[in-house]
Amino acid sequence: MIIMKFGGTSLGTAESIQNVFRIVRDRVDQDPVLVVSAHAGVTNSLVEIARTAPGGDADVSEIEDLHHRLLQDLDLPVALLDEQLGEMADLVQGMKLVSEASPRVRDLLLSFGERCSARVVAAYFNQQGLPAQAVDAFEVGLRTDSNFGRARPVADDGRIAKNMSKLEGIPILTGFLGQDADGNITTLGRNGSDFSAALFGNALDAAEIQIWTDVDGVMTADPRLVEGARPIPFMSFGEASELAYYGGKVLHPATILPAIEKSIPVRVLNTHNPDNPGTVILPVYDESSSPVRAVVHKKDIHLITLVSPPMLQQHGFLAKVFRIAEAHEVDVDLVATSEVSITMTADRADHLPAFCEELGELGEVSVEPDHALICVVGQGIAHTHGIAAQVLGTLFEAGVHVRVISQGAIKVNIGLVIQQVDLKKAVTALHSHFF
Ligand code: ASP
Ligand code: MG
């Protein structure tokens, strides 16, 4: 079987639900199990209701209207969700009465988004002649701890597969939701449905986990900057982790760990272009593939240099520097050190003055704005001789001055800092060299 996960934007309107139906119908022979998010916008509205209900002025009518409109547009009985929407309204009423929204109650409230969307999708599939059944993840045994709002799954002992083997038709599972040992409904954190898809894929030994979004997968470079950028057909988990950080926000790598654990490929696909193979993230690295996977970047980087003669042969110096960065919530992406200096990048312009002031107690600090970070990502960098030379040679020929360079020993990437004015020139030159 395969897992097919559809996010809120893929289920936001009647047309998009009809599109999802066609995509699934064309793949029934692969034995799909669906994992769905709440309809677009619903979780955000529920978060807002949880915030305002204790003060007494939350309004559920917007959420009710949204679901009723979808049901009407899909020619489904308007009373289909009466039970769920009724329970939701009662809960909000209760929250107003007791002027309270505990994390436990908040998760219960948020759960109605996915509980409703799974029922809408299942009802539409049945209406179209494709037998399907809405399934609440907490009813089939997706167990978590009691960390409401960000619950972590507890190990599955086979109960999920056992419970699900009794179901008839295509299961339409709620993403995002679990249940703690006391029977309370929990949520896995915002955008948790990808995580749910990986957990169910793991529990059911899926042949593939498909994450359906609205892009053709992960790109070799930012298409807004580089004309020849194209989707990456496949990459390793290590590469996906590096890429996720640089604008490749299609997938958070931590969410697919349960898939990696069981060596299940994860494929990112486009609901608007379903026949495109998208990008597949493979649990193992294919050594025969080309060494470089993508050239990505991050803009508006500040280059901070700290020169401190006493750093010479002094232990604990870097620890001090990073403790200060931590205290000021400054995210350091790239570091280069010498015996007397440390150069690092930071992207939180608003926090920098205070950060640099405290850093000044350790030595002389200089800050240079308007820089960009380029990252050449590819697991093959470790096995291929001379990639760094090619990177530097290409930039030299393009007339780009490299300010800092960093390559870790695991060599999944080469990081470079350049002046922002050179960004397009640099990324374009590297991309045409490697692709
Ligand atoms: N509906 C949840 C959210 O918006 C989970 C998800 O979409 O993945 O965060
Ligand atoms: Mg989402």
Q: Summarize pLDDT for 31-66 with one digit per residue, the tens.
A: 999 999 999 999 999 999 999 999 998 999 999 999
Contact 412, 391 (CB under 8 A): no
Q: CATH 3.30.2130.10 region(s) of the chain?
A: 294-434
> Which among 37, 45, 251 is the best mutation to test ligand 1's pocket, defined by most ligand atoms within 8 Å of the CB?
37
Which ligand has its closest atom nearest to the C-alpha of 194? 1
pLDDT of residue 133: 98
pLDDT of residue 54: 95
Residue nearest to atom 2 of ligand 1 (CA): 191
CA 269 to ligand 2 center in whole angstroms: 14
Question: With 60 as the cut, is the pLDDT of residue 248 above it?
Answer: no
Distance CA 271, CA 275 (A): 9
Question: With 70 as the cut, is the pLDDT of residue 311 above it?
Answer: no
Length of the chain: 435
pLDDT of residue 346: 87
Architecture of domain 294-434: 2-Layer Sandwich (3.30)
Asked if residue 191 has its Cβ within 6 Å of ligand 1, the reply is: yes
HSE at residue 72, side-chain half, CA atoms within 13 A, is: 6
Asked if residue 258 has its Cβ within 6 Å of ligand 1, the reply is: no
pLDDT of residue 77: 98
Tokens of 363: 């030595």
> Which among 5, 34, 43 is the best mutation to test ligand 1's pocket, defined by most ligand atoms within 8 Å of the CB?
43
The mean pLDDT of 318-341, rounded to a whole number, is 89
Contact 51, 20 (CB under 8 A): no
pLDDT of residue 220: 92
Give 136-160 pLDDT, tens digit per residue.
Answer: 999 999 999 999 999 999 999 999 9
> pTM of the full predicted structure?
0.85
CATH 3.40.50.2300 fits 2-213, yes or no: no
HSE at residue 9, side-chain half, CA atoms within 13 A, is: 9
Question: With 70 as the cut, is the pLDDT of residue 161 above it?
Answer: yes
pLDDT of residue 250: 67
Q: Quick one: 17 exposed, middle or buried, by C-beta within 10 A (0-12, 13-18, 19+)? A: buried
pLDDT of residue 391: 96
Query: Confidence band (pLDDT; 50, 70, 90) for 247?
Result: low
Residues that place a CB less than 5 A from ion ligand 2: 7, 191
pLDDT of residue 284: 77
Per-residue b or e along 87-98, where b marks 16 or more CB atoms closer than 10 Å to that residue's CB: bbeebbeebbee
CA 352 to ligand 2 center in whole angstroms: 31
CA of 191, closest atom in ligand 1: 8
The mean pLDDT of 232-247, rounded to a whole number, is 82
Give 348-395 pLDDT, tens digit per residue.
Answer: 788 899 999 999 999 999 999 999 999 999 988 888 889 999 999 999
Give 69-117 pLDDT, tens digit per residue.
Answer: 999 999 999 999 999 999 999 999 999 999 999 999 999 999 999 999 9
Distance CA 128, CA 130 (A): 6
pLDDT of residue 349: 82
Q: CATH 3.40.1160.10 region(s) of the chain?
A: 2-213
Asked if residue 394 has its Cβ within 6 Å of ligand 1, the reply is: no
Percent of the chain with pLDDT over 90: 77
